[in-house]
Amino acid sequence: PGCLYLVGTPIGNLEDISMRALRILKEADMIAAEDTRNTKKLCNYFDIETPLMSYHEHNLAVGGEKLLALLHEGKTIALVSDAGLPCISDPGADIVEKAIAQNFPVVPIPGPNAALSALIASGLTPQPFYFYGFLNRGKKERRQQLELLKKRQETILLYEAPHRLKDTLKDMEAILGSRRIVLARELTKKFEEFLRGTLAEAVEWSQTEEVRGEFCIVLEGNSDVEEENQEEAYWYTMSIIEHVD
Ligand code: SAM
C-alpha cells in the first residue's frame, strides 16, 4: 500500500543522516525532492539509486498530483527537502494534508533540524518556545510581524537569509528593545559558531562583520509580563507607545 515518508536529511554534516533515513531512501519507490540536484549528491554519497522527482514550492499542485497518483498505485514515497525536516520552512505540508485526506499513512523519519539544534545549544530557556520560521521580506510586513512577536513570552526561533540578517537585526532592536539573542551560524558545519549577547550587540556585530553562512536566530521571550490579561494588554500598548516616542 502507498505510504508517504517524511525523511529528515542533514543540515550540513552528512554524518547526521540516520540509519533509518538511509534505509527508507533506498527502499522507497520514489524520492520526492525540493531540489533534485542537491538530493542527487546526497544519494550519490550514500549509494542510493532510487528515482528522484521534484517537489518544490513552484510545483506543489502538479507535483502533488503526481505524488498522489503514485500513492494510489501503492508506491512508497520518501519526501525530502534540501536540508533538515521537510515541512519546516520547506515544502511538504501541502502533500501531507492531501495524503492524510486520502487515508494514506504519513510516516515521519526524524532527523536534523536547524531551529531545534540552535535552541538546545543557545543557553536560552528551551521551553516553551515559539517557532516562527522566516519573517516576511518586506520591511513593513516584517516590522508588523515583529510587533506581534514582541509580546510573546516564549523563546522565539527564526530563520533568516544571511543577506537580510543585518536589516532584520536592526528592526528587531528597534521594535523588541533590549533582550538576549543567540545567532547560531553554520550548524553542524566546519565553521559552526554561536554568537551570544544582547540585540544591541548583535546589531553592532552585523555592522562590522561581513555576514556569511547560514543562521538561526534564537531570541529571548518578553520577560516583562506574567500573563496575558486586560491589564497586561493595556500595559503592552503603553510600552509600545513609549518605545515609539
Ligand atoms: N527544513 C529546514 C530545517 O528543518 O531546519 C529549514 C529549511 S529553511 C528553508 C533554511 C533556513 O534554515 C536557513 O535560511 C537558515 O536560517 C536555517 N538553517 C538551515 N541550515 C542551517 C545551518 N546549518 N546552520 C544554521 N542555520 C541553518
First to last CA, the chain: 62
Residue-wise pLDDT for 215-234, tens only, equals 999 999 998 755 444 333 33
pTM comes to 0.90
**Ligand 1 midpoint to CA 1 (Å):** 33
**DSSP reduced 3-state for 181:** strand
DSSP secondary structure string for all residues of 15-81: GGS-HHHHHHHHH-SEEEESSHHHHHHHHHHTT----EEE--GGGHHHHHHHHHHHHHTT-EEEEE-
In angstroms, the CA 241 to CA 244 distance is 5
Mutate to test the pocket of ligand 1, among 35, 38, 89 (most ligand atoms within 8 A of CB): 89
Residue-wise pLDDT for 96-137, tens only, equals 999 999 999 999 999 999 999 999 999 999 999 999 999 999
Query: Using a 6 Å CB cutoff, which residues line ligand 1?
Result: 11-12, 81, 83-85, 88-90, 113-115, 159-161, 184, 186-189, 214-216
Atom of ligand 1 nearest to the CA of 118: 25
Closest CA to 97 of 112, 115, 79: 79
**DSSP reduced 3-state for 196:** strand
**Ligand 1 midpoint to CA 62 (Å):** 26
Q: Is the CB of residue 53 less than 8 Å from the CB of residue 32?
A: yes
**Ligand 1 midpoint to CA 149 (Å):** 20
Mutate to test the pocket of ligand 1, among 11, 14, 160 (most ligand atoms within 8 A of CB): 11
Per-residue pLDDT of the chain (245 residues; tens, 9 = 90+): 899 999 999 999 999 999 999 999 999 999 999 999 999 999 999 999 999 999 998 998 999 999 999 999 999 999 999 999 999 999 999 999 999 999 999 999 999 999 999 999 999 999 999 999 999 999 999 999 999 999 999 999 999 999 999 999 999 999 999 899 999 999 999 989 999 999 999 999 998 878 899 999 999 999 875 544 433 333 222 222 222 32
Partnered with residue 214 across adjacent β-strands are none
Atom of ligand 1 nearest to the CA of 186: 24
| Grid cell for residue 97 | 494534508
**Ligand 1 midpoint to CA 148 (Å):** 23
Partnered with residue 195 across adjacent β-strands are 183
In angstroms, the CA 25 to CA 193 distance is 31
